[in-house]
Amino acid sequence: MRGKSRNKGPKRFFLLLSVGALIFADSSLKPAAQSKEEDQVIESLQKSYDSSVDFTAEFRQETELKTLSRNLKARGKLYFKRPGRMLWRYEEPKGQFVLADGKSLYYYQPEQAQIIKSPLKNAFRSDIPLSFLLGIGSLKKDFKVGLKGLEQGHYVLQLGPKGELGGVGEITLGIDRDKFDILWARIRDAAGNVTTLRFSDTRKGIGLKDSLFHLEVPDGVDVVELGS
């Protein structure tokens, strides 16, 4: 069964995932003015991921909800392939996934037996982070990027939005000093909630098949379309 819906429940969730994806996907991290060290770190980070068509990584996700005084935890595996294809497959919550196949974005909620579908070209058009993933945005235009220094031996980059960008207040990235892999991303939204994504076992250029990003609808699950 396929239907129409105005439900915006997953918007914030997609925003988070999009930020995680843009970290690896975008090649325009370089700001207009920066120190020599910042320049070297950012260029090395760009080269590390620009040279890879695809990658996989394990991830752990924790969200601190300020208003509810509680933490939400999740974990799983991320698959990414240029252009605009990604799969966040969750082990906890079990069965949940977010999929982009190059044309549409899908969010599967097993507990509700439904998949929420949005056109990739205009899904959450007001959320700048997703636009980076689609290749229609520019980090150097919408963010101020600065090197904060070192944290536990890792480079720390801070991305501050120049305006209101999809509810994102601040993004901080932890970068391996040798491989220039993204080790973690911390996203603070306008409400003060903080989500941390930690990545491990990152593997680049492994030749992911396109079929991995093909939607298979489980039996008894509805596909609900948001917009057109």
pLDDT at 168: 64
pLDDT at 58: 94
Place of tokens 């944290």: 151
The strand pair at 54-65 and 2-5 is best described as unpaired
Domain with 97 in it: what CATH number?
2.50.20.10
Q: How far apart are CA 10 and CA 117, in angstroms?
A: 10
pLDDT at 143: 67
User: How many structural domains are present in the chain?
Assistant: 1
pLDDT at 31: 43
Fill in the amino acid letter for 103: K
DSSP 3-state of 190:
coil
pLDDT at 216: 92
Q: How far apart are CA 98 and CA 165, in angstroms?
A: 21
Q: How far apart are CA 31 and CA 29, in angstroms?
A: 6
Residue 227 Ramachandran class (φ > 0 left, ψ -120 to 50 alpha, else beta): left
pLDDT at 130: 47
Q: Which two tokens stand for residue 111?
A: 């507990």
pTM above 0.85, yes or no: no
Query: How do the pLDDT tens digits run along the chain, 228 residues long?
Result: 454 444 444 444 544 454 544 544 444 444 444 578 887 887 777 677 667 788 899 999 898 887 777 788 999 999 988 877 889 899 988 889 989 898 888 999 898 999 999 887 655 444 444 444 444 344 556 667 788 888 888 999 887 766 655 566 678 889 899 888 889 988 887 778 888 989 999 898 899 999 999 999 989 999 998 866
Give the DSSP per-residue string, 56-96: EEEEEEEEEETTTTEEEEEEEEEEEETTTEEEEEEEETTT-
Report which DSSP code applies to 32: S
Residues 28, 138: contact at Cβ < 8 Å?
A: yes
Domain that residue 99 falls in = 2-226
